[in-house]
C-alpha cells in the first residue's frame, strides 16, 4: 500500500457520511491500495484481507457497490476483462510520488481523464449515469474535450516552483496550492492531470541536475 493524503473534506462530505462507518473507512483504504491513476483490481476478498484483516465479518463487496452507486468509485471490466475499480477525482486530491510505477490497469472505457479545467463553451448537461450493457455496471458519459494551453507553460511553472524550494521532498498540498495561485495569476485552467505531469517532469529534471 502507499501513503496518501486525507483532506478535511472527507469528514464534511454529506454523501459519504450517509454510508456506514466501515464503508467510509473502506473508501479511504482504497486510496492506499490504488495505483497512481487511482485504479486497483476489483477483488473484494483481497481488499477485505488487506484493509480489514482483523474483521472477517466485514462485507466489502456490498460496501464497494454502495460506494459505486454513490458515485465515489466506478466498478468496471477492462478491455482484458479484468474487474477493476476507478476512484473518481483521485487525481484532483492525491499527488502520487514520482517514483510510483505506471499503472498496468486499463482505464474505464469512454471515460475521459478527470480534469478541473473549464469546458470550452456551453454544452448540454449529461445524465450522470448511463447503463453499460457490455460491462454490467455504470459509466460516466464523456464530457466535451478540454483544450488546455501548451504543456510547456505548465512545465515552466513547475520548474519555477521547484527552483524556489530547497528540498526534493516537498509537501504535495503546498505545491498544489502554489501551482493554483500561479495558474490563477496567468489565467490558466488548473488541470490536475497536466499539473502532475509537469511536476513529475520538473522533479526528474531537477534530480538529474543534482545527481
Q: Where are the domains of the chain?
A: 9-139, 151-210
- Using the 8-state DSSP alphabet, how is residue 84 labeled? E
Short-list 164, 151, 142, CA closest to 200: 151
Grid-cell match 466535451, residue found = 144
pLDDT of residue 147: 56
Phi, psi of 16 (to 5 degrees): -70, -35
Give the separation between CA 190 and CA 184, rounded to whole angstroms: 8
Q: Which residue has the higher pLDDT, 105 or 134?
A: 105
pLDDT level of residue 128 (50, 70, 90 thresholds): very low
Q: By three-state DSSP, how is residue 210 classified?
A: helix
Q: Give 142-201 pLDDT, tens digit per residue.
A: 554 545 578 888 888 888 887 776 544 456 777 788 888 888 888 888 888 888 888 888
pLDDT of residue 75: 94
- Walk across the sheet containing 73-77 and list its strands: 39-41, 83-87, 73-77
**Which three cell numbers mark 49?**
484481507
pLDDT of residue 76: 93
Give the separation between CA 50 and CA 124, rounded to whole angstroms: 42
Inter-residue contact 148 to 194 (CB < 8 Å): yes
Give the separation between CA 14 and CA 183, rounded to whole angstroms: 30
What integer is the mean pLDDT of 17-36? 94
Amino acid at each position: 500500500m502507499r501513503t496518501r493524503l486525507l483532506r478535511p473534506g472527507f469528514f464534511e462530505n454529506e454523501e459519504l457520511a450517509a454510508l456506514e462507518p466501515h464503508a467510509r473507512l473502506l473508501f479511504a483504504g482504497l486510496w492506499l491500495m490504488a495505483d497512481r491513476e487511482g485504479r486497483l483490481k476489483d477483488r473484494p476478498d483481497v481488499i477485505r484481507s488487506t484493509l480489514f484483516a482483523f474483521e472477517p465479518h466485514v462485507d466489502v463487496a456490498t460496501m464497494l457497490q454502495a460506494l459505486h452507486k454513490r458515485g465515489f468509485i466506478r466498478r468496471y471490466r477492462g478491455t482484458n476483462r479484468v474487474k477493476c475499480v476507478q476512484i473518481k477525482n483521485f487525481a484532483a486530491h492525491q499527488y502520487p510520488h514520482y517514483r510510483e510505477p505506471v499503472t498496468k490497469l486499463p482505464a474505464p472505457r469512454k471515460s475521459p481523464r478527470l480534469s478541473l479545467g473549464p469546458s470550452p463553451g456551453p454544452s448540454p448537461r449529461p445524465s450522470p449515469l448511463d447503463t453499460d450493457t457490455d460491462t454490467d455496471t455504470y459509466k460516466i458519459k464523456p464530457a466535451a474535450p478540454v483544450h488546455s494551453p501548451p504543456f510547456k507553460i505548465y512545465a515552466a511553472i513547475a520548474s519555477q516552483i521547484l527552483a524556489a524550494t530547497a528540498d526534493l521532498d516537498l509537501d504535495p498540498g503546498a505545491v498544489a496550492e502554489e501551482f493554483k495561485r500561479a495558474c490563477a495569476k496567468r489565467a490558466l485552467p488548473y488541470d490536475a492531470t497536466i499539473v502532475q505531469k509537469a511536476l513529475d517532469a520538473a522533479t526528474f529534471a531537477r534530480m538529474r541536475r543534482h545527481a
